[in-house]
Structure 1
């Protein structure tokens, strides 16, 4: 970057609705620090986590102003000390750009740790790269975070959502039998992604229907609906099974049936993708990248916006209008 150059960013300095707090502005172009790369952003993605961060303002106590959005894709145009110059010109997908720091992908350029800018295979577009990020890494850890699942039965709750769609594909690619928990309208799509059965979570008798769908029992749950799993799913789980839970939006304070879990040695492992250890995060990113390179991940784009429409993109995710990835072109 030349001296005095600037970039366009969307930012907010207080919590609230997108239209009330987000503004488009210019700021000096960043310089990559040691261990960082400078990325010319091509596509930014808006995920539910980005909306929650803005509406709650949960990181504004640490930063005066935040440039949102964790996921995206672009081209490395400069590198900091300790990063090989051979990376310049590399097409990359970005992970957790705004987690624990103020500068996300709602920006025409950003400096980010080299480890969080992962090379895109030549077969993948910038849109593909922007889709995966947090949803695919969450799904990978939810399915494979404790090792192989080949020959096992994996239940993916919230299977029709951003994370769930990847969870179904990752479990299928790993050799598992996949049970999807979703609305019936998504059963055909989920079958194409690899689910052997889709169970309707809205109909009565969920516990019985889960047992019927998995007569040999369920070994692992990639779980977006912990309260539902604890209330209805335990009879279908095998002894020593694992519930890897990353959300419980229907009830954020579920009742834990401790005795039932204790005597079956059912392990509950809540996790946040942003709080994984370095080795866990590296495994998830490498695993997602391998599947992307092998052409084993399909992406579901629900909406596309231009950079000047960032507010509308955030509003679309916040109001539940987008079924799939919400992508914003950056020009």
Structure 2
């Protein structure tokens, strides 16, 4: 089968190889998926670059997200799975061979049904960006009638989080860093967009909420935004955070947060419990089936140019998801 892989960390152009690899065969409890698209996420790029330390495996086929069609099943897997359109989660988490290949073998549960109204390219954006967004919005319950703040609304996760919160019945505020990103975030349908580089974020949010603040925050930069977040969070509010790159060791204002009854949820989408994963998959698919979710795919690269896809993500200049096509 055709695949992209690397055997050492480094610059994408130096270490990524595209060629033939053995066709994997499904074992007990597994399915094999003929992939049509592979999603490239920052975590994939950082692992290849060496930011996550030494490689865990001698050879790595990258990417955790993908979508395709089940073409073979293990001996104890229902044959009814054959021919199903599916999307992949955790394809490369603690595993050597991810989705940047013509085929992948994964446990059956890691290949949930992809709704017919969703393209393979969009399906390759669900495992990390959409799942991170859904869990951040809904992990602490229904958002009907609540106000949700999504920081970084132009990001891959933020763009989904805005849509999911709106579809869940919430009012949504989002922050961005400039006009181009504001225009992109607007396509997700927020009620208020705040440019944090030009506007007074606290004043804008207090004005919009009539001084009540926000009930939930889906937070991409916990430490860097903490002073503002703590100011605008309503009593008994929730911060669901999946990142803190600018300030990886933030100082927590314990008593101001305690006296608001703040719930702080830190989560890593790779490590969801079986129950939470099932809720997330089912929740995403239900929203997809509604036909109301849009997918911000910025660019598509051929598998032959997997290195180019990595460089696009690495540049930080791309607004939206990067997908490798394998057709």
Superposed CA RMSD in Å reads 1.6
The 5-angstrom pairing of residues 11-90 of structure 1 reads: 11-56=5-50, 58=52, 60-90=54-84
Specify the alignment match of 2:236 in structure 1: 240
> Partner of 1:163: helix, strand, or coil?
helix
Instruction: Report matched runs for 1:116-195 at 5 Å.
Output: 116-185=110-179, 186-195=181-190
Task: Indicate conservation of the 8 Å contact 2:9/2:55, yes or no.
Answer: no
Structure 1 residues 59, 104: CA separation in 2 closer, same or farther (over 3 Å shift)? farther
Equivalent in the alignment of 2:198: 203
Residue 300 of structure 1 pairs with residue 292 of structure 2:
no
Q: Render the CA deviation track for 1:47-72: whole Å, top value 9, x for unaligned.
A: 11111121226375531111101111
Q: Normalising by structure 2, report the TM-score.
A: 0.95
Give 3-state SS (helix, strand or coil) of 1:193's partner: coil
2:122–2:297 contact (8 Å) kept in structure 1: no
Asked whether 1:272 is paired with 2:268, we answer yes
Q: Could you tell me how far apart the structure 1 residues matched to 2:159 and 2:110 are?
A: 22
- Per the TM alignment, residue 204 of structure 1 is displaced from its structure 2 partner at its CA by 5.3
Give distance in 2, aligned partners of 1:203 and 1:275.
Answer: 36
- 8 Å Cα contact 2:8/2:55 also seen in 1: no
Contact 1:210/1:233, CA 8 A, preserved across alignment: no
User: How far apart, CA to CA, are the structure 2 residues paired with 1:191 and 1:43?
Assistant: 27
Deviates more, 1:201-210 or 1:293-302: 201-210
Aligned length: 325
Residue 313, structure 1, aligned to residue 309, structure 2: yes
Task: Tell me the distance in 2 between the aligned counterparts of 1:205 and 1:194.
Answer: 21
Secondary structure of 2:124's counterpart equals helix
Aligned partner of residue 74 in structure 1, secondary structure: strand
- Name whichever of 13-22 and 42-51 sits farther off: 13-22
2:95 is aligned with 1:101: yes
CA distance in 2, matches of 1:203, 1:25: 48
State the distance in 2 between where 1:284 and 1:52 align: 25
4+ residue segments displaced more than 4 Å: none
Per the alignment, residue 283 of structure 1 pairs with 279
Measured in 1, the distance between the counterparts of 2:222 and 2:248 equals 8
Deviation (angstroms), 1:232? 1.3
What corresponds to 1:219 in structure 2?
A: 215
Q: In 2, Cα distance between the equivalents of 1:217 and 1:231?
A: 14
Per-residue CA deviation, residues 154-175 of structure 1 (Å, 9 max, x unaligned), is 0000111000000000000000
For residue 242 of structure 1, give the secondary structure of its aligned residue in structure 2. strand
8 Å CA contact 2:30–2:108 kept in 1: the answer is: yes
Displacement of 1:132 after TM fit?
2.2
**For 1:223 and 1:124, how far apart are their aligned partners in 2?**
27
